Amino acid sequence: MTQGSLPPATAEGTLDASPLAQVLAHAMEKRLAGSIVLGGAGGEPAIATIALHEGWPYKARTNEPHFLGMVLRALGIIDDNKLNASLARFAKERRPHGQILLEMGALTPNDLLRGLRAQLTEQLDGLFALPPSTRFGFYEKLDLLTGWGGPEVAPVDPLAILWPALLRSPPWPQVRTLLARIAPETPMRISPRFDLGRFRFSKKTSELLDLMRMRPLTFAQLPATQLVDETEAKLLVYAMLLTKQMVFVAPDASRSSVPAATPPPDAPRVSPASVFPHARRVSSPDLKRVSSPDLKMESAPPPARPSALPPRASAPPAGVSLTTELAAFRQRIIERVATINDEDYFEALGIPREASIPVAQAAFLALAKVWHPDRLAPQLFDVKDFGVKVFARMNDARATLTSPDLREAYILQLRRGVRPDRTAAPQETNAALEFQKAETFLRKRAYDLAAEHCRRAREAEPANADYVALLTWIAVEREGTGLVPENVHDHIEALGLALKLNDRCERAYFYRAQLFKRLNLPQKAYQDFKMVEEINPKNIDAARETHLYKKRTT
């Protein structure tokens, strides 16, 4: 069905003004019933249709296939024999695959609901990467998926979808706009009634939120806990405000005066046999005017947004005692992060432009002994993120100057007076869009363009682990069959850096597992594939790899 054949939408907009996370959070809060159509403008087929009941998605149809049989196989509910036998019947009968599996006795009704829920989660996860220009329309109390799939429905908690999707596809323009409205000194607190289990948080993120239940923290204090980095802190505050789990405290208010946030609604009760006949009436949402959550702040209007760089002279946090050496290195970090992006890659490694590839590699290894995040003293926690940015820049320089093709192209551009590593100022770059372009060009094997766009994303968001991981993988793909073991180890180290930025980076674990396979280290590969499964149970490739490993070792 195209949007041209539908009645007028109750509400409509574009994802650049109202990201999908915001639309789903709004639907959950208002307990909406109806359908969301993504894309489909100008008579074109819709990209996706999502059916809602009481604010929870319970069915979706997308252009990107997510086969139920493969999902059930990845979950270990059915094996290859049952999958193949059911697919043979499906090809002949063209009936819902789940119904065929039930008739075969290959699974129970509860197994089917579990698989449908995992399939729906996988479908929705993929939609968060749609271009910001994608249009959407909401059709109140209109079921556009009647007759699609089987009679069973398995609603998915929107909160379980939002956090992993925000980490993978952050809507940075909206995040920055929202955070700019929060005064840096404003303490924030999480409602004691907030159910952490509904989100798929990492252990460290959960620990931070538990801490914020007990006492308010300002935004600057979140990374200082060393439980999250600055990037995750921004997304966490955005997610908590989006779902109305964050409350603000006047800087001079006592803890007892903290108001309680409104808890999320309970799980809707959906009857598999009949959904919309029992849907309660809701008022029409005004998504046209949804741009950011309302903030009720007791503090004065926030000042101009501060610079991302630290002041050239600043004292360590109160209570932190540094030796003379650590104090000097702390100041060196502050000065280095302020200048390294203005240096070309040769200057970043401290070598002349005529230096050979072995010299560039040796220079990087020497710098890594000083600048690698693992080597930073714990007392320097307040400047750790700046140290990570410095090392990330050095790692980018190594990746370019130790690859013959990249190095030759880079030197040619320098001779022409062009800095290919400084294509745009970070604040002017839409990192998420550049990242999407990089993925597209990588699929087309246009490695130079993929690296260029990924590097732009990386420059704009240097602490984003996905950008670090993809840039590394582009280099791996470029080298292809010519990839030598020495370079494999370098790429593994680069992916380790990504995991230092985010220890739940699915992409980094997955890429590293493939590199371990190339080095014939199946146990290490298995451990990383297993981590991918833990982070994202719907990753079928990782599930297949862990299954094969278990078969070979038992």
> What six digits make up the tokens of 452?
């260029």
Closest CA to 166 of 229, 240, 115: 240
Per-residue model confidence as pLDDT tens for the chain (554 residues)? 445 578 889 999 999 989 999 999 999 988 899 999 999 766 677 899 999 988 999 999 998 888 999 999 988 999 999 999 999 999 999 899 999 999 999 999 888 989 999 999 999 999 998 999 999 999 999 999 988 888 888 899 999 899 989 998 899 999 998 888 888 888 998 877 667 778 888 888 988 888 888 788 898 889 888 888 889 999 999 999 998 888 887 665 434 333 333 333 444 433 333 222 223 333 333 333 333 344 333 333 333 333 444 555 567 666 667 888 888 898 899 888 888 888 889 999 999 988 899 899 889 988 988 888 777 787 787 788 788 888 888 888 888 888 887 788 788 777 766 666 654 444 444 677 788 888 888 988 888 888 888 888 887 777 678 888 999 999 888 887 777 777 888 889 889 878 877 888 899 999 999 999 988 899 999 999 999 988 888 888 888 899 888 888 87
- Exposed, middle or buried by CB within 10 Å (0-12, 13-18, 19+), for 297? middle
> What six digits make up the tokens of 508?
């980094």
Residue whose token pair is 């919309």: 276
Give the per-residue pLDDT at 252.
Answer: 53
The torsion defined by the Cα of 505, 508, 514 and 515, in degrees rounded to 10, comes to -150
Helix (H) or strand (E) holding 49: strand 46-53
Amino acid at 70: M
**Helix, strand, or coil here: 478?**
helix
CA distances from 269 to 63, 90, 547 (A): 28, 31, 35
What pTM value is reported for the model?
0.50
Q: Would you say 459 and 424 are in contact if contact means Cβ atoms under 8 Å apart?
A: yes
Chain-centroid distance of CA 111 in Å reads 28
Helix (H) or strand (E) holding 13: strand 11-14
- List for the chain the helix, strand, coil content (%; round to 5): 55, 5, 35
Residue whose token pair is 């939002």: 162
What domains can be seen in the chain, in order of their start residue?
3-144 (no CATH), 170-263 (1.10.10), 324-553 (1.25.40.10)
**Helix, strand, or coil here: 548?**
helix
Closest CA to 46 of 36, 58, 31: 36
Give the per-residue pLDDT at 255.
Answer: 42
Give the per-residue pLDDT at 203.
Answer: 84
CB contact set of 321 (below 8 Å; sequence gap of 6+): 379
Give the per-residue pLDDT at 195.
Answer: 72
Amino acid at 408: E
> What six digits make up the tokens of 293?
């959550």
Amino acid at 151: P
Closest CA to 33 of 282, 286, 266, 289: 282
Give the per-residue pLDDT at 264.
Answer: 39
β 56-62/11-14 pair status: unpaired
**Helix, strand, or coil here: 45?**
strand
β 246-248/188-190 pair status: antiparallel
Q: Alpha-carbon distance 57 to 62, whole Å?
A: 13
Give the per-residue pLDDT at 1.
Answer: 47
Long-range CB contact pairs, 524-531, < 8 A, 24+? 525/549
Q: Would you say 55 and 27 are in contact if contact means Cβ atoms under 8 Å apart?
A: yes
Give the per-residue pLDDT at 516.
Answer: 92
